[in-house]
Amino acid sequence: MHDVVRRPTIIDVAKKAGVSKSTVSLVLQNSPLVRAETRSHVREAMAELGYVYNRAAANLRSSNAGLIGLVINDLRNPFFTQFATSLQMALSARGYAAVIANTDEDPTLQAQVVEAMIEHGVSAVIISSTYGENGGAFEALGRAGIPAMQVLRKTNAHVETFPFAGPDYLEGGRLATAHLLEQGAKHIAFVGGLQGRDVTRERMEGYLSVLQESELEPVVLTGRSSRSFGREMARRLEKEHPEVDAVLCFNDQVALGLLSGCAEIGRRVGRTFRIVGFDDIEEAAESWPPLTSVRCDIAGFGQSIAGTVLDWLENDKMPAPETRTPVTLMVRDSSNRDS
Amino acid sequence: MHDVVRRPTIIDVAKKAGVSKSTVSLVLQNSPLVRAETRSHVREAMAELGYVYNRAAANLRSSNAGLIGLVINDLRNPFFTQFATSLQMALSARGYAAVIANTDEDPTLQAQVVEAMIEHGVSAVIISSTYGENGGAFEALGRAGIPAMQVLRKTNAHVETFPFAGPDYLEGGRLATAHLLEQGAKHIAFVGGLQGRDVTRERMEGYLSVLQESELEPVVLTGRSSRSFGREMARRLEKEHPEVDAVLCFNDQVALGLLSGCAEIGRRVGRTFRIVGFDDIEEAAESWPPLTSVRCDIAGFGQSIAGTVLDWLENDKMPAPETRTPVTLMVRDSSNRDS
DNA sequence: CTGAAAGCGCTTACAG
DNA sequence: CTGAAAGCGCTTACAG
């Protein structure tokens, strides 16, 4: 209706080039079977006709449509945005397209989008899952038998089927806490992160283990991982825990919120009140004071996941059940100098 | 290879339910032709077999695969992330999946991803285009004859073919500038936005027109639309334009950077130095001081675009060549009170 | 190296 | 209301 003239097919190309459609198909696949001269004839015919490859048709016979599903629990969060973007671009560079869906931490929605992706014939799925009743999505993936990889959050225990990869959160918690101790902090709080979640547990465990070694008492204020929560905590810490002189935040959102909150109540950040974030999103370097943060190299992580999944898909190389990527600490002024 | 047992097809379902495959197909399409009892038999058979619909196959005959392409110039920028996310979720709610690609402002990459999307059989494309030599993408879209809509940035003049929709940037510039005048500002600067781009021009034009009416001199410092640029400008404004007592920023990124920069140099923001951003990304309300910003309701905009495009696709209702959505001003402390 | 034929899983007229 | 048949645009053995 928008296009009265139907798109040319390999048959049209074959006619134009004076070969059979099989030959055209072989050219399309860069098969070495067809000789250079024929190949260029065919390519010319394609160009003249404005031929475009129909992957859906190809997929019908051969599978591997070149579509990868990417399911993200919170795409508005810069940490996940940066992951999704770098992953998508890496896939694109290798000739794959990404169907991306945000689930807003809703398991029901997650099950729906996964089912939809399977209908669309995605060849693999990469999922940063919701917590809670998320069985639906994994069940559907299992039934469909397509490679599916858990990233960033391990919410399904069957890592032999759904291998997991994520940053070494525990080590990150350790690094950050050790750094604060070195800087002379005496009372270090852990702020943010919903209780009971694996990611919170891991990050906190690193913190707790270092405190324990130093025989220091932990102060834990779990909660949402949002800026507004961080901001509220500035006041609360000052009032209820005036002795706290350093904070390890669950993530950068909380830390940036805490930074705002300190500005709001006029509390200096730096030597007297040190703040460390987690994830090192791009913004961390741009705040004032610049935020010390545990760097997960999320862009590099996204790229490497693209490689892992395509290796699984193309070469049947199943990833290890669990992969932890190294983290480092980016020390900036928020934990270091007064400002 | 991952799945030895091949996925059941409508033929399997038909056998199991004791009907012909046409009937199964009709059930799949919720056709009123098949009677309720038969329908439920078929549905049961599908459930028992774990049947999943193969959209690629369906598409081969009927087109409209239920795939929509979403091409974004800078997906890491929260403004575009929020747009893409709300659009994707609205599409998902109506049974469509979104193939999303970031182009990082690269016209060559943009042409590539658009071609790839067409190969994948997307039924429509929504594009927030790169500037510059972006002809390739639009040419490919034109050749393929699929509905394509420009959003947020009008970079292709053929709006009869590629209709445009975006917020009323000009009005936003006016609103913000008028607000600053009302607050008593005498010297208002415009900061950020690359020169020569339409979006910059429109936002600036609103600013200039209001200044002209009041016979005030403009101070324009164009540049990248990044936090770091905004941050640099704090120092530069103080040094080179000490008279400036209010700033309209090209977007919230610049404004948030400027806020950081002011914190850095110890300049108070509020009554003595007013800052207004543009876009009203979620973060604007969370900064300190909270940022006054021109609200584009980007989430609502994304949803409405989903509706517009699906109406085009499903009911052949071509959108108006150009749509401007209303903007409002969210007044917060950064232009209002001292902090 | 190239061609003729079957088939991927659906939908779509067309009969009945 | 339901079934038999053709066809969507490719790929894949199989001959030659």
Write down the pLDDT at residue A3.
42
Q: Which nucleotides of D are covered by protein (CB under 7 A)?
A: 1-5, 7-13
Closest-CA distance, A214 to chain B, in angstroms, reads 35
Q: What is the pLDDT of residue A186?
A: 95
Query: Measured from the CB, is A61 under 7 Å from any atom of strand C?
Result: yes
B57 touches strand C (CB under 7 A): yes
**Can you read off the two tokens belonging to residue B287?**
């900064």
Using 50 as the pLDDT threshold, list the residues of chain A that sit under it.
Answer: 1-4
Task: Report, as ranges of residue numbers, the positions in chain B whose pLDDT lies below 50.
Answer: 1-4
Say if the Cβ atoms of A120 and B55 lie within 8 Å.
yes
Question: B183-242 pLDDT, tens per residue?
Answer: 999 999 999 999 999 999 999 999 999 999 999 999 999 999 999 999 999 999 999 999
Pick left, alpha or beta for residue B164 (phi over 0 → left; psi -120 to 50 → alpha; otherwise beta): beta
**Runs of H (alpha helix) within A145-295:** 169-182, 198-213, 227-240, 252-265
The 10s digit of each residue's pLDDT in B30-44 is 888 888 888 999 999
Per DSSP (E only), the strands in chain A are 67-72, 97-102, 124-128, 148-151, 164-167, 188-191, 219-221, 246-249, 274-279, 292-295, 322-325, 328-330
Do the Cβ atoms of A98 and B97 come within 8 Å?
no
**Residue whose CA is minimally distant from C5 C1':** A22
CA of A46 vs C1' of C6, distance in Å? 25
Contacts of A82 in chain B (CB under 8 A): 76
Using an 8 Å CB-CB cutoff, list chain B residues near A3. Answer: 144-146
Q: Quick one: tokens of A337?
A: 């100098």
SS3 A188: strand
Interface contact B85-A75, CB threshold 8 A: yes
pLDDT of A2:
41
Are A89 and B104 a contacting pair at CB < 8 A? Answer: yes
pLDDT of res. A339: 59
Which chain B residues contact residue A104 at CB under 8 A?
Answer: 89
* Local structure of residue A162 (DSSP, 8 states): S
Cross-chain Cβ contact B263/A57 below 8 Å: no
Residue A289 CB neighbours (<10 A): 22
> What is the pTM assigned to this prediction?
0.95
Distance in angstroms: CA A322, C1' C4: 50
pLDDT at A33: 87
Nearest to B263 among A100, A109, A263 (CB): A263
Q: Mind listing the domains of chain A with CATH numbers?
A: 10-61 (1.10.260.40), 66-162 (3.40.50.2300), 169-296+328-335 (3.40.50.2300)
Does A20 contact strand D, using a CB cutoff of 7 Å? no
B51 touches strand C (CB under 7 A): yes
Q: Dihedral sign, CA of A145, A151, A156, A159?
A: positive
pLDDT at residue A147 in the model? 95
Does A26 contact strand D, using a CB cutoff of 7 Å?
Answer: yes
Compare CB distances from B81 to A76, A143, A256 and report the shortest one's residue. Answer: A76
